[in-house]
Structure 1
Amino acid sequence: MTAMTLCLDRPGFLPRLSSHHLARERLVEPLLASTARVKLLCAPAGSGKSALLTECLLRAPADCRLCWLPMAGESLDVGTFQQRLAQALGLGSVDEPDLLDYLTHLQTPTWLFIDDYCRVSNSELDHFLDRLLAVRSPLLNWWLASRRRPQCNWPRLLLDDELYECEARALAFTECEVQHFLSDVEPALATHTARRIIQRSSGWCAGVRIALLGGCQWAADQDKQERSTTLLDYLHHELFSTLAPELIEAWQVLAHLPRFNASLCEHLFGAGEGAQWLHALQEMGCFIEPWEDSAEWLRVFVPLARAVGDERGSAGRAWHRRACQWFCAEEDWQGAFEHALLAEEFEVAVSLLQHFSLEHLFRRENVRLLLNLHERQGEGLTLGSPQLVGLITAALLFAGRFDQAAECIAQLARFAPQPSVMLQRQLLARWQAQQGWLLHLLGRMDAARAHFIDALAELAPDAWPARLLCLSGLTQQALLNAELDAAQAFNREALCLARAQGSLLFEGLLELDHAQLLEQRGAPRRAESLLADIHEMLSRQADRPTPLLGRIALQRGRLALCQGQDAVAAQFFQSGLQDCLHSQDKRALYGFLGQAQLAANQRDYAHAFDRLREAERLMQQRQIPDTVYRGVLLQISSHFWLQQGRPQLAREALTRVLRHYRGPHARQAPPATFMLIARIEYLLVLAQTRMQEAQQPLERLKTLLDHAQQHAMLALETELQLAICEVADLIGETELAASALQTGLKLAGRGQQQQAVCELRLRQPTLLSRYGVDDESAATIESNPLSGRELEVLGLIAQGNSNQQIAEQLFISLHTVKTHARRIHSKLGVERRTQAVAIAKKLGLISL
């Protein structure tokens, strides 16, 4: 509730706002602008309903009569409520007909506020309120705040456009609003603290305020915090004091469950009572909310579940055992596995893993749970079958624990020989698939390729997940070797198999490879569209595929960065980083790298290098081999050193790391860094040229450029043209510099490679202007009238492919190909395919 005070310019007592109140125009303006005569705020305790109503009241027109009725959640009978309402309106004792008649014939604009309406279901009072709301006086506006939704005819009001409802989620504080409360804190720390508070409180107004009062304990980096006494006292007074003892116990049990529904409650609390208790808790606004937007599953509001989620000893484990039994009966193996772990029934948890496939690895927190189970129980329990070995190995490879993965793969020898020749060959094929991925991630390309090919030749049709992973490995190796056509063929075969098996999870994993292929070909918009579509489909799944969504977010962040969309990239990098950290994914590295590049774009190199140090610290803490991260960290660092004018540091680092990727014992670059080696080489040329130590720098860059052009690597070609411009300018070949700059800018516009232009500007701030290109022009140059997809179609037309062949190669319909061709002809002003190809060559849109 909001405190009351005497208002000098209004009659009677009206509410006042706290001295810490933050005005929120995003909520107030729509409420005041709405012409609906009923405004409803329905949300749990501490959501800021009273403060929002008060803020609206204080902005009421001067000629408007204001009536404030504070109910404090009391369960009143109809007569008492009617009397209080009459008093708020300045009337004496009246009966219902007289009250309704008075409201109908109001002569003065009146705003009637009812704050904290009855918290306990009261059908008689709700029906009386419904009769009041039915009064259609044009001068009367109702403002209602409640923890529960009264039983009124809301659909009628909604259809008549007479209801404006502010959703509970909208009442939560945003990160920017929390930063307002931290105005006395250093900006960088304020941003970090606000983000942590939002993560821990989900923006719940009372939770944010308690966090600030408690010294921002929720802002600490640890996942587990000591329980806030203030928060627990708040729950006691605002929640538990209004509940019956059995409902309190039920709520506390539900707070420990990741998800629940009415049927599970019936199993836990007894038939006939469980569902009723759950319904009562929902009715009273006891912080019960949908679980991940599910229509069936519910959960307790996460910040409160976390606050009361300390160990409950043997009693708590008993509830989890009972929940595990229910999930087993429902054949919901994911839920059963989670509750078996919470109940510390580890043997049961391992037995449930027989129902898991590799797809389960990309669901929820399963990687982390599997790794914790393996570490806690050891090989004797978790490696009891080839299927378990496969699951644990995949989790270890995903997390970057290659030494442990090698030991785990070796355990397959315990299961040989198999009872038949066929089974023995399948066991060997599984070993080859797993060993192939281990070698692939360790950078040993030739050996990995041999294992992948041999495994594909032997794996049975029902081992399709292993086949998909082998094809994905071959796709990534082809990308690293700049064999884009081969990469496309492997990726297409894998996608067809995943779709034939109806596996959306594996399709999403393979689309990451597809997006890398498109990025390398200079089609980031097409890649972003592809990932956006698969993200939307995956997000609708009941079991959130957190690891996969994290990787998709990081790749979308890189694509947004490439196109100069820094604000969008920052959001993707943050969400992807959080998901990868939660899933123990080694690719969390690229979230830190993306944040570092965004900071460097703002010339905030202190923060950029801090992000790189944090990435290295995480890799070392998790004992991930330095082959995964060392090369890319040094490459990005060198990039920043060149921008800072420190070429000697860049030269030393790049020379050292390049030896790792060249020579007889060279390793391949990590799969997520397909242009790493080429970037190291051209950055080294830049550093040596600045130090006047380079030997034949232009020839070296042109060799790299020829390779990029031969393999249609448009993104790399753009970066190399701009590097040639920079080197030519440094050694005084201004004509070549001007030519390379124009070509590079044209390619940047064609392939949406704005980050490459940004990095050139950061290395050489005056170069563009010296060649007559201002910043705005450099950011918007677009000589190509065709979209990325239209360029792909035109390129295949130029190679002599028929429309049907183009449709098959691009995974689109024949009708879509014809539509693209028609648009290409229109944009280029031609009528035939041969004319389109000739014009495209002349404009430099394709090179054959």
Structure 2
Amino acid sequence: METGLFASNGLNQSGALLFKTRPPELSAGHLDRSDLILSALATKPVLLCLAPAGYGKTLALAAAADVIKLNRTLLWYQCDRLDTSPFLFIQACYSSLGLETPEKSGTSFEQLLHLLDVIKGSQRPLTIVMDNIESLSGELVSEDASDLIQVLVKYRPDNLQLVLSGHHLPFPAGNYLLDERFAWVGSDTLAFTLEECGHWLQAQQVVLRREALPNLLSKISGWPAGLALWLMAWRCAGMPDRWSGELGIQEMSEYLSGEVISALSPELRESLLRAAVLGTFNESLLSDVSGGREAHADMQEMLSRRLYIREVPGRPEWYRMEPLISQCLTRLLKHSERERVHTEAYQWFRDRNEPIAALYHAGQIEVNSESSQWLAEQSDTILASLNISGLLNWLDQLNDDQLEGSPALLQMACWTDLFTYRLEAAGILIDKLGVMHAPQEAELAALQGYLAGLKGELSQSERYCKRALELLPPERSSVRFLVTSMLTSVAMAHRDPDAARLWNRYALDIARKARQPSLVAMAHLDHARIEFNRGHVSRCLTLLNQGLDILETHQLKSTSMAYGRLMVLSTAVSWVTGIDSQQVDVRLAQALALCEENSDPSASYGYAIRALNLMGEGAYGQALSLLDDGERFLQERRVDFVAYAWLHTVRSNIWISQHKYRRAHDCLSALLEGADAAGVARCEYSSLLPGFTTLTMARLCLMSGRTQECLDLTDDWLRDTPNGFMSVFIRLIRAGALVMNQQSSESVRQLDIVKRTFRTEGVNRQLHNWLPDLASFLAVPAMAKQTPSTLNVALSDREKDVVKLMAQGLSNQEIAEKLFISLHTVKTHARKVNVKLGTRSRTQAIHLAKELMII
């Protein structure tokens, strides 16, 4: 018998087999995902479950094994370094069948064939689960062991099911990819969904703010191990209400170092870490940053091992590492080596005249005069990419002398500040540009016109932008597009959709001639905004999807400001129409993450829509908390007050819903500063703000009993803008005021107009929760609201005990001692109380609990 290996290691064969054939025990808090395995086995006799480390393959198989063994004989077999030959596996199979292992005779191949004959002759349904199959390859593994899986698959009897799991196959897949007997489960299937993420956290007795969960899922990209490691880091950090994007990164890096990096050869390890620094790469680039060493073999190995790398859509032979994995693995490389890789990557892209990719790597290294001059020469292409985060990172490396010494660099800095709504800083730089460099009149007029538009100085903006268009040469396509886009917004602010559409067609023509996908997508966004303002919601959604499709296959879509904005507005329109309403919060979280990564203040619109969604469900506390997050994001970016307008207007609506009319009035007054709704800066992201502000003011008047003032406001708006998206809801408010004024016939006429629009455009009825009393007129069922009694029932007895002791002034440690529970459990109960009551602090929870007579 083959005992040499065991003798040399001091191991007992029976002990090794006992360990290798025992499925892992499932913890009490595990998430049962056996359905992923069982559904695949229901139709196919062979299942290949292949994914990188951390996707929960083994746990899913262990949960499925508990179900399989109810109806079939089950053999669990853990492949490892002991499988230098098939002997241990053969012995385990005979043991599972209750048979003695026959004396060794013949080759390993003949022994396997004899085993399969025995399985077939037994007529017992048998399922063999082999985990960590990647161990069946390597220098110490015999050819017989490497062939084990192929023999089992090729000569498998009908009563045998095979489940093969691991990071990768120990041999090229070949015709397995075409074999109809095979079911495949990969990382896309095993990645956590939002629902699974929530269920898993609940099983760990963790309750997060509802709005935080989609953000967390987006960060980890559904990676189960990433979620578990983040949770460990979060608990170690004291379970904070808010956390930085760096939380858990160190723990994930250590996990990957132990589970992935340590198993690689030194050459492959270095190639993988350099690929992580690059983020997006091809074979030529990876070879170049590897000191000229041919990277072909390493590339093929990384792809076959499924090392978190995917092909870039629409760009053959280019690959992208998962951003979170890239961030974690980059830390494992020395700083000097990272700088060298970025420097050589910058030079590689520069030599191939790819300024957008070169800009990213230039932003990671020390700026020199050569790179500054070259990138300044590429300013039109860089602006056309709308890669604002790349510009910010690079410009932050420049000192004042470098920046102010070049008119081209100074202009790029001006545009960057304008894109990010840092209007005061932009104004200062534009003044410097005019004084220090005496730039061309066209360039200066373009900057001045764009700045005036963002401030709401419409006439001045229109004059400057038209002058810039007259003077700008055709090769300055990006600046010509930007001023034309601003003229589109000015026309919308003047409530002239026909003029807006003419300017938009001109902008689209400029973008197409320049062959710049980001500008073409931005032109589609402007067109969608026009249709949205007109009230053509379905047409708007079509245009937004077209814009997203344009960028979907673009190599740098995630860095384009246009992509994040398209996603935000697309999700907002989906919310309005009720399309895919279950995924609205997830999609908004993804869109917000993109906007935040790109330092785009348009994220404030996404925060506003998410808060409106929560408000419609009666979750006022969570909605206000989310708006605070939005304000914090804008404050960190030092943006102008105009970017806060959506947040403040939504906050006013929440306070109206809570009958806090004084707060709502003060908030709107601060926003308007003595002007009417038309005084709100109007060249903002969605161009709906003036109408939304009017709607909010009219709603405040109606709900606080000032019906005549409400009628005057709505009449003024509808006289100038009888059609349009916001006009529909302003009519709804007006109908309510008419009912209260005993003008029923006119109210019915207004409601008939609203009904027709809702039917035509498919507007989501949950928006009526702003005015539940009017829902009956439209035969719309009101959404259930959270009442004090339902809140009271939602708290468990233990949670009520914790609240009562909190109200008595006891600390968390004192509560733990009083109730004979751990400090961690007390914090968990306190967090659940805050979530259920919609409060953000101990004081608020105690106050609301008393108000609701819970204590």
- Same-fold status (TM-score > 0.5): yes
Identity %: 23
Alpha-carbon distance change, 576 to 12 in structure 1, aligned in 2, over 3 angstroms: closer
Checking the alignment, whether the CA contact within 8 Å between 1:39 and 1:142 is kept in structure 2 is yes
| Equivalenced residues, count | 749
What whole-Å deviation, never above 9, does each CA across 1:221-268 have from its counterpart, x for those lacking one? 212347646x56544543344333343344334333323332233223
Equivalence for 1:774: 779
Checking the alignment, whether the CA contact within 8 Å between 1:37 and 1:163 is kept in structure 2 is yes
2:170 is equivalent to residue 178 of structure 1:
no
Alpha-carbon distance change, 443 to 455 in structure 1, aligned in 2, over 3 angstroms: same
Alpha-carbon distance change, 288 to 651 in structure 1, aligned in 2, over 3 angstroms: closer
Alpha-carbon distance change, 684 to 313 in structure 1, aligned in 2, over 3 angstroms: closer
Paired residue secondary structure (2:32): coil
Equivalence for 1:844: none
Among 63, 68, 71, the alignment partner of 2:79 is: 71
Q: Distance in 2 between matches of 1:408 and 1:707?
A: 38
Q: Match of 1:335, as an amino acid?
A: A
Equivalence for 2:220: 201
2:282 is equivalent to residue 261 of structure 1:
yes
Q: Distance in 2 between matches of 1:370 and 1:302?
A: 19
Paired residue secondary structure (2:280): coil
Checking the alignment, whether the CA contact within 8 Å between 1:193 and 1:216 is kept in structure 2 is no
2:336 is equivalent to residue 314 of structure 1:
yes
Q: Distance in 1 between matches of 2:767 and 2:322?
A: 44
2:617 is equivalent to residue 602 of structure 1:
yes
Aligned pairs for 1:163-174 (under 5 A) are 163-174=182-193
Among 124, 135, 160, the alignment partner of 2:155 is: 135
Q: Distance in 2 between matches of 1:679 and 1:336?
A: 42
Equivalence for 1:520: 533
Paired residue secondary structure (2:317): coil
Alpha-carbon distance change, 385 to 26 in structure 1, aligned in 2, over 3 angstroms: farther
- Please state how far the C-alpha of 1:39 moved relative to its aligned partner: 0.8
Paired residue secondary structure (1:461): coil
| Structure 1: gaps of 5 or more residues | 1-5, 418-423, 780-848
Q: Match of 1:108, as an amino acid?
A: R
What whole-Å deviation, never above 9, does each CA across 1:297-334 have from its counterpart, x for those lacking one? 33555444333433723343233333333333443333
- Please state how far the C-alpha of 1:506 moved relative to its aligned partner: 0.8
- Please state how far the C-alpha of 1:127 moved relative to its aligned partner: 4.2
Q: Distance in 2 between matches of 1:329 and 1:436?
A: 35
Equivalence for 1:762: 770
- Higher relative CO (Cα under 8 Å, sequence separation at least 6) belongs to 2
Equivalence for 2:297: 276
Paired residue secondary structure (1:470): helix
Checking the alignment, whether the CA contact within 8 Å between 2:680 and 2:690 is kept in structure 1 is no
Aligned pairs for 1:40-189 (under 5 A) are 40-60=48-68, 62-72=70-80, 76-77=84-85, 90=99, 91-92=101-102, 93=104, 95=107, 96-97=109-110, 99-100=112-113, 102-103=115-116, 105-106=120-121, 107-119=123-135, 120=137, 125-151=145-171, 154-155=174-175, 157-183=176-202, 189=208
Among 435, 438, 442, the alignment partner of 1:429 is: 442
Q: Match of 1:775, as an amino acid?
A: V
Equivalence for 2:571: 557
Equivalence for 2:9: none
Equivalence for 1:447: 460
Paired residue secondary structure (2:31): coil
2:486 is equivalent to residue 473 of structure 1:
yes
Which stretch shifts more, 745-754 or 299-308?
299-308
Aligned pairs for 1:313-392 (under 5 A) are 313-354=335-376, 356-361=378-383, 363=385, 366-392=387-413
Paired residue secondary structure (2:74): strand
Checking the alignment, whether the CA contact within 8 Å between 2:192 and 2:224 is kept in structure 1 is yes
- Please state how far the C-alpha of 1:24 moved relative to its aligned partner: 1.2
Equivalence for 1:497: 510
Alpha-carbon distance change, 379 to 321 in structure 1, aligned in 2, over 3 angstroms: same
Q: Match of 2:606, as an amino acid?
A: G
Equivalence for 1:735: 745
2:424 is equivalent to residue 403 of structure 1:
yes
Q: Match of 2:170, as an amino acid?
A: P
- Please state how far the C-alpha of 1:695 moved relative to its aligned partner: 4.6
Which stretch shifts more, 745-754 or 178-187?
178-187
Checking the alignment, whether the CA contact within 8 Å between 1:682 and 1:723 is kept in structure 2 is yes
Aligned pairs for 1:12-23 (under 5 A) are 13-19=21-27, 20-23=29-32
| Structure 2: gaps of 5 or more residues | 1-13, 785-855
Equivalence for 1:813: none
Q: Distance in 2 between matches of 1:12 and 1:505?
A: 54
Alpha-carbon distance change, 56 to 352 in structure 1, aligned in 2, over 3 angstroms: farther
Q: Distance in 2 between matches of 1:776 and 1:226?
A: 44
Q: Distance in 2 between matches of 1:688 and 1:284?
A: 64
Q: Match of 2:779, as an amino acid?
A: D
Q: Match of 1:171, as an amino acid?
A: L
Checking the alignment, whether the CA contact within 8 Å between 1:227 and 1:308 is kept in structure 2 is no
Checking the alignment, whether the CA contact within 8 Å between 2:504 and 2:527 is kept in structure 1 is yes
Which stretch shifts more, 121-130 or 55-64?
121-130
What whole-Å deviation, never above 9, does each CA across 1:345-369 have from its counterpart, x for those lacking one? 44454234135344534758x4233
2:232 is equivalent to residue 213 of structure 1:
yes
2:556 is equivalent to residue 539 of structure 1:
no
Q: Distance in 1 between matches of 2:671 and 2:291?
A: 65
Checking the alignment, whether the CA contact within 8 Å between 2:534 and 2:724 is kept in structure 1 is yes
Checking the alignment, whether the CA contact within 8 Å between 1:179 and 1:190 is kept in structure 2 is no
Q: Distance in 2 between matches of 1:438 and 1:465?
A: 16
Which stretch shifts more, 581-590 or 57-66?
57-66
Alpha-carbon distance change, 179 to 209 in structure 1, aligned in 2, over 3 angstroms: same
Equivalence for 2:542: 529
Checking the alignment, whether the CA contact within 8 Å between 2:525 and 2:544 is kept in structure 1 is yes
- Please state how far the C-alpha of 1:440 moved relative to its aligned partner: 0.6
2:650 is equivalent to residue 636 of structure 1:
yes
Equivalence for 2:830: none
What whole-Å deviation, never above 9, does each CA across 1:452-503 have from its counterpart, x for those lacking one? 1111122222222222222211111111111111111111122123223322
Q: Distance in 2 between matches of 1:75 and 1:297?
A: 36
Alpha-carbon distance change, 778 to 189 in structure 1, aligned in 2, over 3 angstroms: closer
Checking the alignment, whether the CA contact within 8 Å between 1:172 and 1:202 is kept in structure 2 is yes
- Please state how far the C-alpha of 1:694 moved relative to its aligned partner: 5.4
- Please state how far the C-alpha of 1:656 moved relative to its aligned partner: 5.7
Q: Match of 2:443, as an amino acid?
A: R
What whole-Å deviation, never above 9, does each CA across 1:620-669 have from its counterpart, x for those lacking one? 33222213324x34432332333333444444544564455459x95642
- Please state how far the C-alpha of 1:81 moved relative to its aligned partner: 6.2
What whole-Å deviation, never above 9, does each CA across 1:425-465 have from its counterpart, x for those lacking one? xx211111111001111111111110011111222222222
Equivalence for 2:816: none
Q: Match of 1:612, as an amino acid?
A: L
Paired residue secondary structure (1:222): coil
Among 319, 328, 338, the alignment partner of 1:298 is: 319
Q: Distance in 2 between matches of 1:568 and 1:283?
A: 33
Paired residue secondary structure (2:639): coil
- Please state how far the C-alpha of 1:598 moved relative to its aligned partner: 0.5
- Please state how far the C-alpha of 1:279 moved relative to its aligned partner: 3.3
Q: Distance in 1 between matches of 2:701 and 2:308?
A: 62
Q: Distance in 2 between matches of 1:377 and 1:60?
A: 63
Q: Distance in 1 between matches of 2:91 and 2:321?
A: 37
Alpha-carbon distance change, 620 to 442 in structure 1, aligned in 2, over 3 angstroms: same
Q: Distance in 1 between matches of 2:396 and 2:410?
A: 14
- Please state how far the C-alpha of 1:206 moved relative to its aligned partner: 3.0
Which stretch shifts more, 736-745 or 93-102?
93-102
